[in-house]
Structures are given as structure tokens and as C-alpha cells.
Amino acid sequence: MSDEAPKVREVQTLYVAEAEDGIRLDRWFRRRWPHLSNIQVQKMARSGQIRVDGARIKPEGRLTAGAAVRVPPIPEPIVRAAGEHMALTPADIAFAKSMVIYEDDLVIALNKPWGLAVQGGTKTTRHVDRLLSAWGEGMDRPRLVHRLDRDTSGVLLLGKGPEAAKRLAGAFARRQAKKTYWALVFGLPKPNAGQIDLHLKKSGINDYEIMRPADPKETGAEPAETAFALISHAGQRASWMALRPFTGRTHQLRAHMKAIGHPILGDPKYGDEKSAELSGPLKLQLHARRIELDHPSGGTLVVEAPISPEMRAGFQHFGFDEGEADIDPFAGVRRMR
């Protein structure tokens, strides 16, 4: 993953994403602002310009999910990628607003489409983070509090203002958010419901990074837990599953379903020859359907996202009907440990 944040002309507070738990401070900065040198990051950290939850931190210090990072003004890159720093067009703003499925004084929920990155990179200039300027800059600009893979559609929450963002990010960091994903997978899992408790480790480099099962004692192995439940199935060929991650590892659901022999359809990275043949032209069949967590102002926030056109194509191909699903297939389900 190569993430990039927008330009920073004044001091801002950004929050460490759930998938970034444990990342080094210097790498966190370099992912967002690739033009920064290690020396620049070290200087900002050692001079106290960078602070985490109000405290100084060394460049090699590790960040935790939900931590508030004080980001000082970032120097402009000398050479800019074409169009990277252009203002949003009216079409960009209209597109950003069209994704909104819920909004109040503290929270915005988007239905992120398939194929749209949440944050940018060296080759990605159109992403959700950039589109947030549709709501304004400074305090008016909403803040990302968690992530979805580029090819995963569905609910993406934003916080309005630093306090709302901090509370939402904290709920994700403490694993308090109940997330329900829908996935179409190869074959028919047996048993039809249960929990996958399998450590994962990132291997490969850059765009070739992949999460693989790992022994808990292996260096770099991270615990990962996913509950699964069958909603419907098309014979023995394909199944519509509900998935609930209790941890937030990169590609966790995709790696876990592959590990139990039922890769998600339309997945070029974690699929196999049989799932690829069954998938045909289908895109990744993974959708963040529902999120339930504490609202920053009190009470409970529940948001559901209609399925994407790509997911709908999979439903139509296998004959699934959205009405077959329970509102919460995991009601009453708790982690095994």
C-alpha cells in the first residue's frame, strides 16, 4: 500500500488508520508525502513539530490505530505529477456528493464504488481523500477514519471535525465497530458458519504485496480473526457469505477465504484457477454492507450501503436475491476469545 495525504499548508491533525496499526512514524509520513526525505521527517520529529497524542515521538516510533498525529506544514514537492494538485472540478464535487448515503452534524457515510482508491499514491491522483475537498478545507474538510481496498465497495465513514474523527477512529481501533461484509465465494463452505483464527503476514514488495497464512511465532505474523456465515448458495458452485472481521489486517477477508479453500470471486490476487474460471468477467465480489458503532454524540450509528453494480452482476449471475439476507447475520455472535 502506498498512501498519500493532501497538501498541508497549516498544522493539521490526522488519524492513524485501522490498517496502519504498528507502522513506523517515518514510513507513515513517507507514504502520504513521498517527496519528503528521511532527513526532513527526522528533523520535524526531533524538533517537536510532529507529535502523537500530544507527545513527542522518534522517527522510528510505532503508531497505533486511532492515534492523533500533529502534522506541521509540509513543503511542496519540487516536481508535481501532472494534474495531481489541481482543484476539484464541478464534476468531481458532484461525484463526491453522489456517494453520500448518510450525513449529520458529525458523520458522513459514503457508499464507495468499486475501483476507487481511498487514498492516493504515486500513480493514483483520483481518490476519496482528494475528493473530500468537496466539503471545503481546514475544519470543514471531513476526515477519513478507516479504509477499504480499492476494489471493495461499500460503507466508508468520515468524521466531521477532529473530535468526531477521533471518536470514530477510536471505535475502529478498539474493535468496537461491527462490520458486516457480503462476499460471493467459490464453492460451498462446510461448516456453513464459524470463525477463522489464522495469523497473517505480509510478503512481497510494493504492488506485489500479499497476505499469507503464518505461524503465530513467525516474525511479522499478526493475529487475524473473521466470523463467517452462509446466506445462500448456488448449488455447490458458489456461495453468498456474510463476513465479519474482528481484526483489521490488510486484505484479511480475501486472505482468510482463500486459506479455507473458498476464495472470493473476481479476485485476481487471492483467487485460483478454478475461482477465476467461475468468476469470468466478474469484478471483486466483496462489499462492505453494514457498519454499526457508537455515534460520536451518543447512541448507535447504523449505516447500510446498497450493493454496487459489480456486486449486482454477481447476484444476477448466480440468482441471489438481497431479500434473503438477515439484517445482521451475526446478531449475538462474539469473538471466540
Equal fold, 90-174 vs 178-324: yes
139 secondary structure, DSSP code: G
Buried b vs exposed e over 292-331: b needs ≥16 C-beta within 10 Å?
Answer: ebbbbeeeebbbbbebbebbebbbebbebeeeebeebbbe
Cβ(83)–Cβ(31) below 8 Å: no
How many Cα neighbours within 13 Å face the side chain of 273?
A: 0
Cα diameter, the chain? 63
pLDDT at 1: 38
The domain made up of 12-71 has a fold known as: 3.10.290
Q: Is the distance from CB of 298 to CB of 105 less than 8 angstroms?
A: no
Concatenating the DSSP letter of every residue in 260-295 gives TT-PBTT-TTT--HHHHHHHTT----EEEEEEEEE-
Q: Confirm if 60 and 46 have CB atoms less than 8 A apart.
A: no
pLDDT exceeds cutoff 60 at 4: no
List b or e across 106-137, with b for residues whose CB sees 16 or more CB atoms inside 10 angstroms. Answer: bbbbbbbbbebbbbbbeebbebbbbbbbbbee
Rounded Cα distance, 251 and 226, in Å: 12
CB 325 within 8 Å of CB 182: yes
Q: How confident is the model over 55-105, as pLDDT tens digits?
A: 999 988 999 888 999 999 887 764 434 444 458 899 999 999 999 999 999
Instruction: Please state, in angstroms and rounded to a whole number, the distance separating the CA atoms of residues 237 and 187.
Output: 5
Q: What is the pLDDT of residues 27-39, one digit of tens each?
A: 888 878 877 877 8
* Among 11-25, 161-175, 290-304, the range of highest mean pLDDT: 290-304
CATH superfamily of 90-174: Pseudouridine synthase (3.30.2350.10)
Q: Give the H/E segment covering residue 241.
A: strand 238-245
- Could you tell me where the DSSP H helices lie in the chain? 25-32, 38-46, 90-98, 128-131, 162-173, 252-259, 273-279, 309-318
* Residue 318 and residue 270 in contact, taking contact as beta carbons nearer than 8 Å: no
Strands (E), 76-224: 100-103, 107-112, 143-144, 153-159, 178-186, 193-197, 200-203, 210-213
Q: Please give the model's pTM, rounded to 2 decimal places.
A: 0.76
pLDDT, tens digit, for every residue of 109-143? Answer: 999 999 999 887 656 678 898 899 999 887 788 99
Q: Yes or no: say if 38 and 26 are a contact pair by the CB < 8 Å rule.
A: yes
Closest CA to 218 of 248, 247, 246, 198: 198
Strand partners, 272: none
pLDDT in tens, 233-268: 999 999 999 999 999 888 999 999 999 999 999 999
Is residue 288 within 8 Å of 178, Cβ to Cβ? no
Distance CA 96, CA 303 (A): 18
pLDDT of residue 79: 42
Q: Which sequence spans correspond to the domains of the chain?
A: 12-71, 90-174, 178-324
- Give catalytic residue positions: 149
- Which CATH architecture is the domain 178-324 placed in? 2-Layer Sandwich (3.30)
